[in-house]
Structure formats: C-alpha cells, structure tokens
Structure 1
Amino acid sequence: MFVTGGRDHRVHAWTIPEDPTKTSAQEISIKHTAMVQSLLPIRDTSHKLVTAGADCRVNIWDFASTRVVNTFKVSNSVFHLHSATIPYCTLLEVAHRELQFEIRDHRLVPVHPVVRFGFNAEALQSRFVRGDVDGHNFACGDREGNIRVWDIRQANKEAAMIPCFPEHRTMDIAFRRGDIVACSDDFRVKILRKA
C-alpha cells in the first residue's frame, strides 16, 4: 500500500495486488481545503498517517479506526513533515521567515509544548527546499547555499552552519549513515562525511 495527496485536496490509499493491472485507489476521508503538501506514516499506538497542506491544517488519520483522530492548525502553510525522535512528536517545515520549523506533539492532549525554531531569512523558504532528520539532528538548506544543523533536543540554538554552495540555494538534504548529502538548485551534489 502507498498513499498520495495533491492539488485536488484529497488523499488516496493505493493497494497493489500481485497483478499490478488491478491496482486500485480508495479516497481517505481527510478534509483539506488546499493542496496536500506532505504525508508521513507514523507508528505510535497504531498505524497512522499525518497529512499537512497549504491550508495550515495537520490531520492525524488512524488506519485501524479509519478516521481522523486529531487535527490541529498551524500559523503557516506546512511544506514537509518528518518523524522526530521525541515520542509522539512530528517535525514540521513551515512557510515562515524566522521560525521555519516546529516540533509538534500530535496526541489529542499534548504533553510536550510546541517548539519553534529557525533562522532569520529575507524571504520564505521554498516548498522545494527540504531538510532531513537523523536521530536528534535536523539539517536543512538555505537560500545562501548553507546547510544549517540543529540538535532538536536543544532547538533554540543552531548547532552548525556549513557553507556548501556559494551563490546557489541548498535545496535538498538527506542523511545517509551519518553523512549529509546536499543538492543545490543547479543540480550539484555534495557529500559531507561524518567527522
């Protein structure tokens, strides 16, 4: 099974049987009023799906009960979702000029307060800029070609800023076995080896 969401504001669960010509999709009853921009499967007490969109709404869908078990609004459009190592929490990348990232407790009655962090930027990050989480580390690129790194346990201070692509944007970050893989807006790739 896999799940898709898009410009039609809908989320679909796709089932692929042994005969791929019989692939089928079923719409999941999740309400978004704008484009669905990010999906994240999670497993806490059961299998769930976190959906986020341009409507600033985040939904938690439970597969077992086939319903939305929690919804919360955020201040800005959500670009990306990431699993966080903090139990019952999800890291959100949002459209904001100073606080581009939020760690949200997605339980119905949150235990952890919302943590917002980021860096001062002259313009919003693009929804095509995407960070990544590795253990307690979160890294994301910026418009100046840097890689910015935080320890999400102490997100109020940036752990490192690494120059990577002078005069180009750092668009995509991925952790691979502790190394950081970065991609620029001119399609260059750099691998920063774990020290």
Structure 2
Amino acid sequence: MFASGGYDHVVHLWDASRNVSRPSPTSLVIKHTSTVQSLLAIRDTSHKLISGGADCNVHIYDLSSERVVNTLKTSNSVYHIHEALSPFCALLEVAHRELQFEIRDRRLVPREAVQRFGYPSQTTHGRYIKGKIPCFPGQRIIQVVFDDARLVACSEDHELAYIHYRSGE
C-alpha cells in the first residue's frame, strides 16, 4: 500500500496487493482545503498517516479506525513532514523566513510548536529549499528521507540519490 495527495486536496490510499500494475485507490476522509504537499506513514500506538498541506493544516489519520484523530494548525504552509526521534513527534518544514522547521508533538493539539528553528533568509524559498549537498545538477529535490545511516533524495524527475553518513558526526 502507498498514499498520495496533491492539487485535488484529497489523500488516496492505494492497494497494489491484488495487481501491482493496476493499484486501486481509496479516498480517505481527510479534509484539506488546499494542495496536499506532504505525507508520512508512521507507527506509534497504531498505523497512522500524517498529511500536511498548503492550507496550514496537519492531519493525523488513524488507518485502523479510518478517522482523523488529531489536527494541528500551523501558522505557515507545510512543505514536508519528517519522522523525529520520538515516535510521537514530527519535524515539519514550513514556509517561514527565519523559522523554517518545527517539531510538533502529535499527541497534543498545541497552539505552538514544541521547538522552532531555522536560518535567516530574505525570502521564503517555497517548496524547494536550497541544500548543501548537490545530488541532481540542474534539478530540484522534491523529497528527502533519513534513516540511521543514509539520506535518500528524490528529484523532480523521480531519480533517487542515496547519500551515506554517520549519525553523530
């Protein structure tokens, strides 16, 4: 299974178990009022899907009960959602000039992030923020995923780059 979201404001769950060449979609009852810009599948006490959008909403959807169990309202558009070390927190990349990153606790509905940080910038970069590691000359990186020993980047042309690193360095 995999999830997708986009300009239609809808999050779809796709099942490829019966036929890999023709997966079947199911629309989830997640209500975004603008583009769905990021999705993250997580497992804390159950399987959940987190969606973030240009409407400044982050919805936590429980796959087993098929409902939104929590909604976080951010002050800026959410570009990306990443896992954090705590199974109950998420790292959000948001549209802000100085504080582009927020750590949010998904168990609560706080008015503010647990932690906000970033770097000074004259403009909001948009969905594609400049990085320090060149992966794809002349192309934008549209998604980055981290694990214990590497970073996986996906380009706008759907190419993948695997960058190995050691945590703690």
> Once the 2 structures are TM-superposed, how far is the Cα of residue 125 of structure 1 from its aligned partner?
2.2
2:78 matched to which residue of 1?
78
> Once the 2 structures are TM-superposed, how far is the Cα of residue 55 of structure 1 from its aligned partner?
0.3
Trace 1:27-66 onto structure 2 (pairs within 5 A).
Answer: 27-66=27-66
- Residue 6 of structure 1 contacts residue 35 of structure 1 at CA under 8 Å; is this kept in 2? yes
Identity of aligned residues (%): 51
Do the aligned partners of residues 22 and 71 (structure 1) sit closer, same or farther apart at CA in structure 2, a change above 3 Å counting?
A: same
2:103 matched to which residue of 1?
103
Structure 1: where are the runs of 5+ without partners? 130-140, 148-163
Structure 2: where are the runs of 5+ without partners? 156-160
Aligned residues: 160
User: What is the rounded CA distance, in whole Å, between the counterparts of 1:192 and 1:169 in structure 2?
Assistant: 20
1:9 matched to which residue of 2?
9
1:68 matched to which residue of 2?
68
TM-score, normalised relative to structure 2: 0.78
User: What is the rounded CA distance, in whole Å, between the counterparts of 2:46 and 2:152 in structure 1?
Assistant: 32
SS of 2:60's partner is: strand
1:19 matched to which residue of 2?
19
- Residue 102 of structure 2 contacts residue 113 of structure 2 at CA under 8 Å; is this kept in 1? no
- Residue 183 of structure 1 contacts residue 190 of structure 1 at CA under 8 Å; is this kept in 2? no
User: What is the rounded CA distance, in whole Å, between the counterparts of 1:39 and 1:81 in structure 2?
Assistant: 7
> Once the 2 structures are TM-superposed, how far is the Cα of residue 20 of structure 1 from its aligned partner?
3.3
- Residue 38 of structure 2 contacts residue 81 of structure 2 at CA under 8 Å; is this kept in 1? yes
SS of 1:50's partner is: strand
> Once the 2 structures are TM-superposed, how far is the Cα of residue 181 of structure 1 from its aligned partner?
7.5
Larger Rg computed on CA atoms: 1
Trace 1:106-145 onto structure 2 (pairs within 5 A).
Answer: 106-108=106-108, 114-129=114-129, 141-142=130-131
TM-score, normalised relative to structure 1: 0.68
- Residue 170 of structure 1 contacts residue 182 of structure 1 at CA under 8 Å; is this kept in 2? no
